[in-house]
A and B are shown apart, each in its own frame.
Chain A
């Protein structure tokens, strides 16, 4: 049934949202024009508020319509058909919502609405000018999903387009315009992960939060209020730094758990596009704190806060315009909106920079010259280091843009991203890390005290000595374990240790004074721990699945090549690092049953999502399914059971790396399974399996005649023919009355266990049918070929195939938990800093009271 109402309602809501945003932008602009800050033309203000509220309602209505289409499986709509399917659980339907470009724009728009309402509620003083900028951004964003043709130009891409309008040329629609597909093409398998339910909203909230300080800064420039905007903008920037940082790390964790490139960060342009603005935002937060507490670096604050938002727009342009082309594996589809995106980006860049230049001379600067004993100087240098780190990633990630630009002006350019991206980025980012760790420790130690030569060396003394001792100890331990350490790693290790110890020393002092003040130190401690985690897990990542068999197929380049994957035959143990590893079969996920269920226990039916239990499925004493029961299964993922056994201690654990055969994505999608120890992870993923779409290559059938109780040799195994019984598993045979179906019961003795085999023999209307039975573990197939009732003889056909195998890659990641726990500490630090700045009227007691110089620098109370 074609339902065009819901799509029309949605499309209409988009148009209303667009028009309302335009009205709101204009009205707020008029309300704020020629008025000092805090005053506004009441009539225009009322109109602006009304229009923005209407805009919010319309955006909600768009979301409800789009989700209704996905949830109601309305495949007449392209969006539902291409992003969803019948078997998708509700929580993944939420991910479908933002799998497409339009939905992710919608998510971003939604967060802007929420933040706009929050500003209307809590930042009344700034409402009119800030909301004028908010509504202006919304006007551009809603135009991206408008989907109208205006004067021959397509403006935006609507998520409510019907399938028949998208795939116009498909013959089905010529015959039957009301044709509705019965199922969708489904959600990209890699996105079927709980992190993908929560990661995109977090990231887009982070995107949206960068608009707030930007809008405050622009409003400040516009109204000539160069200082008052800092306080509210700082709080919002801290929120932005927190949410964007957490969002990035969620993406990293998702990649670690789901993708199989072997880590959490791949320097993919899509990742970099968010990393760059986050670094600049964090630098901007430091500049704002400097102005707020010490009355310096205001111009820097303006520049960085504005740059952050422009970089977010640039990220949008990079990932959504198709300019990345070959450079990224996971950019969005090109919707032909690059022109629109460029206008959007260009408009904001030109307006913001022009306004900044116009007001530059009026922005107050501090007269005092900073000395090396001013912590402000070191905070400033730290922010500069962050910006330089961001600059490197920006310059390299933009390489495809240079090609596109040069091509546009007629110069052919064939530049490509560096072949070894990790090495390229590491050589600058590592030094950024060193700088951050050292400066964060130094500036934190100096921030809380009055500084001269003796106090500084006093404060630095203990952490420095402990750092050097700790660093020496680690180097000795590494040597003792036979590991190399490069000089650059020694520097990073020492710097990060100093960052850890200096910040711990600050926290221990602040706990005695006022623990709320230690947010900054906690966040910096988190960063230093993250650096140690990266150093351990990336610098000392150790591939344990080296090919140790000595069998190397090619002799062409034997010298320096890594052979990082190992072939594991089913049920054969293979030595790997300090483990003996064996692959012991394929498993499926059965909802309701803990763990995974062996495929051998499941008889697959014509319905992919249902199987029959061949035997009891039980866990401990609880029986979940009896033999013959229909079992609901999730057929997409196959879990390959891999047992690790430590040779020395005999300790063992089991991993289930999974793989999904997916025709649309072209091939096999493998996801790792990770065993987490306190001090390292064992990360393993499938690199290859025998091609499941190819028919197995069976040997020629060898026939043998057996009587009841006979024993027969099958390759390396032997089997006993125990009897004949009426067939049990007859589903799928379509038996009718008068048909005869019998099955043989044969017991095969494998290496480790025994297998019951039941080949079936059917007689119907004097026609004979045979259903062979297969033991995947042994690569054996047995059929009951003929029955001679008079002689009591049964003829069996036996054929063999290559045994099942997997190709596995396993990597040890030392101290990766430092990275995750550092992330948590960093987030905690942000939260503490936010709590500390919660009360607007209480002056922040940041500086030690006995200082006369610092007292001057105390912030003026800001209303």
Chain B
């Protein structure tokens, strides 16, 4: 067998290994119910959950718990997933400062007992990059 052939076979083997590792490591977007089922089955791999924050009539977010004076690394909130299932989430980091304004929240983590422990929070603020309104525009028109 020529060296070139050995090299080609080795490259194909590594490439397959790479694809397998990507498939194995890839996470999934799930609902909270599915996350609970996975945890019940003993599957502790981390998942992504997309959800919204529950708000009252005055647009205040319900159920935020962050008291930096007691523990700066403890932030708890409730997230409602796309199936409208609410779930308590704990994030062992300071509360992200733009949390209150976000419309959509993506968290990664896993269910532990009956609490979802998040290790990453990705916030989608609708106005982050596209401006939709001119500040004070109406005031300056005469």
Contacts and interface: CB of A to CB of B under 8 A. Distances in A.
A333 B109 CA distance: 28
A423 B22 CA distance: 11
Given A392-B22, A554-B71, A666-B97, 18 more contacts: A163-B134, A171-B138, A179-B141, A326-B50, A333-B130, A396-B25, A396-B26, A418-B27, A420-B46, A427-B21, A557-B112, A565-B93, A665-B125, A668-B98, A670-B97, A688-B94, A688-B95, A691-B97
Contacts of A332: 129
A392 B25 CA distance: 12
A185 interface: yes
Contact of A564 (B27, B48, B93, B141): B93
A805 B94 CA distance: 13
B90 A556 contact: yes
A567 B137 contact: no
B131 A664 contact: yes
B101 A666 contact: yes
Contacts of A713: none
Interface in B48-82: 48, 50, 67-74
Interface of A: 81-82, 163, 167, 170-172, 175-176, 179, 181-182, 185, 326, 329, 332-333, 369-371, 377, 380-381, 384, 388, 391-392, 395-396, 399, 414-420, 423-424, 427-428, 547, 551-554, 556-557, 561-567, 664-668, 670, 687-688, 691, 802, 805, 807
A554 B27 CA distance: 28
Given A419-B27, A547-B73, A666-B98, A396 B68 contact: no
A666 B26 CA distance: 30
Interface in B96-142: 96-102, 106, 108-109, 112-113, 115, 117, 119-120, 122-125, 127-135, 137-138, 140-141
15 contacts: A326-B106, A333-B129, A384-B7, A388-B18, A392-B18, A396-B22, A418-B25, A427-B21, A552-B74, A554-B90, A557-B117, A565-B94, A567-B68, A665-B125, A687-B93
A688 B133 contact: no
B28 interface: yes
A688 B102 CA distance: 17
A181 B137 contact: yes
Interface of B: 2-3, 7, 11, 14-15, 18-19, 21-22, 25-30, 45-48, 50, 67-74, 90, 92-102, 106, 108-109, 112-113, 115, 117, 119-120, 122-125, 127-135, 137-138, 140-141
A311 B98 CA distance: 35
Contacts of B14: 388
A694 to B, nearest CB: 10
A36 B2 CA distance: 38
Contact of A370 (B3, B27, B70, B100): B3
B11 A384 contact: yes
Nearest to A427: B21
A419 B73 contact: no
A554 B66 CA distance: 11
B26 A688 contact: no
A414 B72 contact: no
A668 B99 CA distance: 10
B138 A566 contact: no
Given A329-B122, A418-B26, A805 B102 contact: no
Contact of A667 (B11, B19, B29, B97): B97
A-B complex: 7 closest residue pairs judged by Cβ atoms? A553-B71, A667-B98, A419-B46, A666-B98, A667-B97, A668-B97, A666-B101
Contacts of B115: 556
Which of B14, B95, B134 has the most chain A CB atoms inside 10 A of its CB? B134
B71 A551 contact: yes
Contact of A419 (B48, B67, B128): B48
Contacts of B99: 667
B40 to A, nearest CB: 18
B79 to A, nearest CB: 15
A381 B92 CA distance: 45
B68 to A, nearest CB: 6
B19 to A, nearest CB: 6
A94 to B, nearest CB: 20
A553 B73 CA distance: 9
B112 A381 contact: no
Contact of A170 (B11, B19, B47, B137): B137
B112 A553 contact: no
A688 B129 CA distance: 23
A807 B94 CA distance: 8
B72 A567 contact: yes
Contacts of A552: 71, 74
B125 to A, nearest CB: 4
Contacts of A420: 25, 46
A329 B124 CA distance: 9
Contacts of B25: 396, 418, 420, 423-424
Contact of A377 (B3, B46, B117, B134): B3
B45 A553 contact: no
A547 B137 contact: no
Given A391-B15, A666-B127, A807-B94, A417 B26 contact: yes
Contacts of A396: 22, 25-26
A427 B100 CA distance: 36
B18 A428 contact: yes
A185 B132 CA distance: 11
Nearest to A180: B140
Contacts of B129: 332-333
Nearest to B3: A370
A2 to B, nearest CB: 14
B134 A172 contact: yes
Contacts of A381: 7
Given A565-B94, A666-B101, A395 B18 contact: yes
Nearest to B76: A554
A525 B131 CA distance: 47
A294 B70 CA distance: 68
Contact of A167 (B18, B67, B71, B134): B134
Contacts of A185: 131, 135
Given A175-B141, A417-B27, A167 B108 contact: no
A625 to B, nearest CB: 31
Nearest to A372: B3
A687 B18 contact: no
A566 B72 contact: yes
B78 to A, nearest CB: 16
A369 B93 CA distance: 58
B137 A82 contact: no
Contacts of A807: 68, 72, 94
A176 B140 CA distance: 11
B7 A553 contact: no
A120 B73 CA distance: 61
A423 B30 CA distance: 22
A688 B74 CA distance: 12
A386 to B, nearest CB: 12
B138 A172 contact: yes
A438 to B, nearest CB: 15
B120 A561 contact: no
B70 A553 contact: yes
B7 to A, nearest CB: 7
Contacts of A377: 3
Nearest to A403: B29
Contacts of B19: 395
B69 A805 contact: yes
